[in-house]
Amino acid sequence: MISSHLPILQVVVPLIAAPLMVLLRHGALAWLLAVGISWTALAIALALLAEVAGGGLISYALGNWPPPWGIEYRVDSVNAYLAVIVSMVAAVVVVYMRRSVEAEVPRERHYLFYTMYALCLAGLLGISMTGDAFNLFVFLEISSLSTYVLIALGRDRRALMAGYQYLIMGTIGATFFVIGVGLLYLETGTLNLADMAARLPRVTDVRPVLAALAFITVGISLKLALFPLHLWLPNAYAYAPSAVTAFIAATATKVMVYVLLRFYYSVFGESAVFSALPMGGILLALSLAAIFIASVVAIFQDNVKRMFAYSSVAQIGYITLGVSFDSATGLTAGIVHLFNHALTKGGLFLLLGGIALRLGAVRFDAIGGIGRAMPLTSFGIVLGGLSLIGVPATVGFVSKWYLVLAALERGEGWIAFAVVASSLLAVAYVWRFVEVAYFREPAGKIAELKEAPASMLVPAWLMIAGCVYFGLDTALTLGGAGDAAKVLLRGTW
């Protein structure tokens, strides 16, 4: 039965597509293949989510080698939810890619671009499926290496530098992670995460375990751009090709948050991380710093793409803030924001790509009056911005509601106020766009601009419409996040 092989198909389909694309050496065919694998991935992810709904667990032994000797793929509500986010974003962005990549990447490299995209997708989905620490590291490297290439393919020459910067930081992060995994292997003698979790409590030599926790935390934090380890992110997002920015902004950091959650709750255990160690306090402080500092920096950017990149650093802060509460409500807030922010920021970067296509740049001083020239694109950006602010009837509101509730549940009103006050900073940077887009007279080139092509506008608006739809119907998103939080807090995997 093919349905019993879904966990591995989720990863293998895009992984096999990559070499096929190289063999094809044809941009359009590679794109078609990319669409096929992305939509297949979404279908598989949804099927997996349905299968594990309500606390189920799928254990898949790779090559029939029984775990913990062979590699195990282990799917529950948490990873299935994550795979849905990744593949959903992929399924939408891949449609958009054709026009955008045509304009931004040299023709002879198109098939390579899609190859890298397929590898990146395989890596991200692999991370979310696997139950093996070293396998996770391999997929982490696959997704990272392909991301470096994708970023460096940006039209701007600074994209090379940005890709390089990310390469250095990402490699350090991955190295830290693998050192941590190595220490755990030394102490437990296993690489299977569930097995590792079962053996850890019996380990008497605590210091290497603590070191492993530290290495893994820092390594993953680098990759998920937790303040102050976020320095690679703004340049990478700003100079990567538009479609790449949208794809990685909506998926890569989210997957790394998942890895952190998995290690904290399913490997080390909640009590070890949050009770015996002050991780909650550290995460709380860093998250608040991320939210406030990155938001303020965002206000002063002169490039719209960079502004939203800094906004991403702040939004990651909201996610880790939810995690830092270490409560059902807090985790739900953090996990639902993975989805909500993916949708919002994905949509925003896709819309910006439309402006980049028509205008070549998305600097504030170049887009005055864009509201009249590209009304659908501009209005979409405003709606996405409202979701960043957290206006009701958008997904941002749902996240904010749960974050504030989690803070109030802990009796810490000041955090609740910090969360809502930080929304005002989002008002400030979103309104900067509103004023530039609608209050300036369209001058020169702007006045003659056409709206973005439908093949880009439709996917972008699909995400923006999703921001509103999932702001009013949260059964799937909030329900899934709630399930995931419950599974994580249960501890055993």
Interface region with another protein, contact rule CB under 8 A, candidates 158-166, 196-204, 294-302, 466-474: 466-474
H/E/C letters for each residue in the chain?
CHHHHHHHHHHHHHHHHHHHHHHHCCHHHHHHHHHHHHHHHHHHHHHHHHHHCCCCCEEEEHHHCCCCCCCEEEECHHHHHHHHHHHHHHHHHHHHHHHHHHHHCCHHHHHHHHHHHHHHHHHHHHHHHECEHHHHHHHHHHHHHHHHHHHHCCCCCHHHHHHHHHHHHHHHHHHHHHHHHHHHHHHHCCCEHHHHHHHHHHCCCHHHHHHHHHHHHHHHHHHHCCCCCCCHHHHHHHHCCHHHHHHHHHHHHHHHHHHHHHHHHHHHCHHHHHHCCCHHHHHHHHHHHHHHHHHHHHHCCCEHHHHHHHHHHHHHHHHHHHHHCCCHHHHHHHHHHHHHHHHHHHHHHHHHHHHHHHHCCCEHHHCCCHHHHCHHHHHHHHHHHHHHHCCCCCHHHHHHHHHHHHHHHCCCHHHHHHHHHHHHHHHHHHHHHHHHHHHCCCCHHHHHCCCCCHHHHHHHHHHHHHHHHHHHCCHHHHHHHHHHHHHHHHCCC
CB of 435 to another protein, least distance (A): 6
Count the Cβ atoms, other than its own, within 10 Å of residue 29.
Answer: 15
Q: Report, in Å, the least distance between residue 209 CB and another protein.
A: 37
**Does the footprint of another protein cover residue 420 (CB under 8 A)?**
yes
Q: Which of 474, 481, 483, 493 binds another protein (CB under 8 A)?
A: 474
Identity of the residue, 216 or 382, whose beta carbon is nearer to another protein in the bound complex:
382
Q: What radius of gyration, in Å, describes the C-alpha atoms of the chain?
A: 21
Residue 447, interface with another protein (CB under 8 A)? no
Distance between CA atoms of 405 and 401, rounded to whole angstroms?
6
The reply on whether position 374 binds another protein by CB under 8 A is no
Residues 54, 300, 435, 445: which binds another protein (CB under 8 A)?
435
Site for another protein in 394-413 (CB under 8 A): 398, 400-401, 404-405, 408-409, 413
424 belongs to the binding site for another protein (CB under 8 A): yes
Please give the Cα distance from 91 to 98 (Å, whole number).
Answer: 13
343 binds another protein (CB under 8 A): no
Mask for 85-124, x = binds another protein (CB under 8 A):
----------------------------------------
Q: Which of residues 8-67 bind another protein (CB under 8 A)?
A: none
Dihedral over Cα of 350, 353, 358, 364: its sign? positive
> Would you say 130 or 422 has its CB closer to another protein?
422
Which of 393, 458, 468, 476: binder of another protein (CB under 8 A)?
393
Q: Does position 375 bind another protein by CB under 8 A?
A: no
Smallest gap from residue 96 Cβ to another protein (A): 27
Q: How far is the CB of 368 from another protein (least distance, A)?
A: 13
Q: Does 416 bind another protein (CB under 8 A)?
A: yes
Rounded to the nearest 10 degrees, how much is the dihedral formed by the CA atoms of 47, 52, 53, 55? Answer: -170
Tell me the closest approach of the beta carbon of residue 355 to another protein, in angstroms.
Answer: 21
Least distance between another protein and beta carbon 425 (Å): 11
Contact 83, 129 (CB under 8 A): yes
Is residue 389 at the binding interface for another protein, with CB under 8 A as the rule? Answer: yes
> Contact with another protein (CB under 8 A): which of 42, 45, 391, 462?
391
CB-count burial class (<10 Å; 0-12, 13-18, 19+) for 326: buried
Which residue among 472, 489, 491, 492 contacts another protein (CB under 8 A)?
A: 472
69 or 439, CB closer to another protein? 439
Is residue 431 near another protein by the rule CB under 8 A?
Answer: yes
If one asks whether residue 390 binds another protein (CB under 8 A), the answer comes out as yes
421 belongs to the binding site for another protein (CB under 8 A): yes
- Specify the amino acid at residue 311: S
385 touches another protein (CB under 8 A):
no
Binding residues for another protein, rule CB under 8 A, total 31
Q: Which stretch binds another protein (CB under 8 A): 25-33, 136-144, 343-351, 389-397?
A: 389-397
Q: Which stretch binds another protein (CB under 8 A): 19-27, 189-197, 216-224, 432-440?
A: 432-440
CB of 408 to another protein, least distance (A): 5
C-beta of 111 vs 397, nearer to another protein: 397
Contact letters (x/-) for another protein, 223-262, by CB under 8 A?
A: ----------------------------------------
The two three-digit tokens of residue 348, written as one number: 């925003």
As measured in angstroms, the least distance from the Cβ of 392 to another protein is 4
Applying CB under 8 A, the residues found at the interface with another protein are 386, 389-393, 398, 400-401, 404-405, 408-409, 413, 416-417, 420-421, 423-424, 427, 431, 435, 438-439, 471-475, 478
